[in-house]
């Protein structure tokens, strides 16, 4: 995959570094996780929804993947990042009109500004929510009757490589300091059926990722994480520099060796 990180200094770092690096990481992540997302969309039994909505759409890679894989008539993306929504909108070509359409919106607030949906989808979003259970149950009100809610999140990441375990422990600690979880998959599996939402599928999809691809994603993420106040307070600069260098070296390896596997919790609810 063509997203080798560069260790050359970035002159625009203070102005654009976070959104630019985060967008590059999401583009790369979209390629790496396409296999697991495709399996969920194919196995969910949702047909071709008239209106699908991508919650926490970022720059729109998942939104387009939904449209292409399911053949939706209409697809909308919602995100609360101005930078990502503007990037997503800039990727819509002239001939595409309003499809896909992208909207700046905090998805913890209902109603959504795009009318009812036949399918709601999110990936790697629950990790960032302060009150996931309450937010997820509020989404049911935005679904048409018989509409579907599909979610996928990490339940575990299994690896024996110390540079990966060090990175994952650090990320887990940062998220815990904000009362968030790196592994919200278990929380999703514990969600109970409600009067209007019934579980149609709950499984863990196992995805092996090459060391080079995992290192690339982690390296790009580290560019944002290393400025987090938790890191300044709890980690030595030299420790982070070593992790960064080790990830960069690993990201440049070839041969496709994999010593890291994701367990992705995939859930399908249907509104009754």
Q: Of 5, 49, 58, 185, which one interacts with ligand SAM (CB under 6 A)? A: 58
- Do 142 and 108 contact (CB within 8 A), yes or no? no
Q: In this complex, which beta carbon is closest to ligand SAM, that of residue 5 or of residue 77?
A: 77
- Do 37 and 62 contact (CB within 8 A), yes or no? yes
Distance (Å, whole) CA 141 – CA 151: 16
> Can you say whether the dihedral through the CA atoms of 180, 182, 188, 191 is positive or negative?
negative
Q: Of 28, 61, 219, 269, which one interacts with ligand SAM (CB under 6 A)? A: 61
Q: Of 13, 31, 35, 106, which one interacts with ligand SAM (CB under 6 A)? A: 106
Q: In this complex, which beta carbon is closest to ligand SAM, that of residue 204 or of residue 259?
A: 204
10 Å CB burial of residue 137 (0-12, 13-18, 19+) is: middle
- Do 203 and 266 contact (CB within 8 A), yes or no? yes
Size of the site for ligand SAM (CB under 6 A): 20
DSSP 119: E
Q: In this complex, which beta carbon is closest to ligand SAM, that of residue 49 or of residue 60?
A: 60
Q: How far apart are the first and last CA of the chain?
A: 42
- Span of 2-10, 117-125, 196-204, 228-236 interacting with ligand SAM by CB under 6 A: 117-125
The CB-of-106 to ligand SAM minimum distance in angstroms stands at 4
- Span of 52-60, 95-103, 204-212, 226-234 interacting with ligand SAM by CB under 6 A: 52-60
Q: Interface with ligand SAM includes 180 (CB under 6 A)?
A: no
What are the φ/ψ torsions at residue 161 (nearest 5 degrees)? Answer: -85, 130
The CB-of-194 to ligand SAM minimum distance in angstroms stands at 21
Q: Which residues bind ligand SAM (CB under 6 A)?
A: 26, 29-30, 56-58, 61-62, 78-81, 84, 106-108, 123-125, 128
């Amino acid at each position: 995959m063509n997203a080798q990180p560069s260790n050359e200094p970035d002159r625009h770092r203070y102005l654009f570094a976070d959104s630019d690096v985060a967008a590059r990481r999401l583009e790369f992540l979209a390629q790496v996780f396409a296999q697991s997302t495709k399996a969920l969309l194919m196995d969910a039994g949702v047909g071709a929804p008239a209106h699908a909505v991508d919650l926490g759409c970022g720059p729109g890679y998942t939104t387009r993947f939904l449209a292409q894989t399911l053949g939706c008539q209409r697809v909308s993306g919602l995100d609360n990042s101005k930078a990502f929504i503007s990037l997503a909108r800039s990727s819509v070509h002239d001939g595409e009109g309003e499809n896909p359409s992208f909207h700046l919106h905090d998805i913890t607030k209902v109603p959504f500004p795009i009318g009812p949906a036949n399918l709601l989808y999110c990936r790697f979003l629950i990790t960032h929510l302060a009150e996931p259970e309450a937010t997820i149950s509020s989404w049911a009100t935005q679904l048409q009757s018989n509409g579907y809610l599909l979610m996928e999140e990490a339940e575990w990441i299994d690896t024996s490589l110390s540079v990966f375990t060090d990175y994952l422990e650090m990320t887990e600690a940062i998220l815990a300091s904000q009362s968030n979880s790196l592994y919200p998959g278990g929380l999703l599996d514990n969600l109970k059926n409600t009067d209007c939402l019934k579980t149609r599928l709950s499984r863990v999809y196992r995805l092996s990722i090459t060391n080079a691809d995992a290192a690339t994603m982690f390296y790009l993420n580290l560019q944002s994480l290393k400025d987090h106040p938790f890191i300044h307070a709890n980690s030595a600069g030299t420790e982070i520099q070593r992790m960064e260098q080790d990830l960069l070296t690993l990201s440049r390896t070839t041969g496709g060796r994999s010593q890291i596997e994701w367990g992705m919790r995939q859930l399908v609810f249907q509104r009754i």
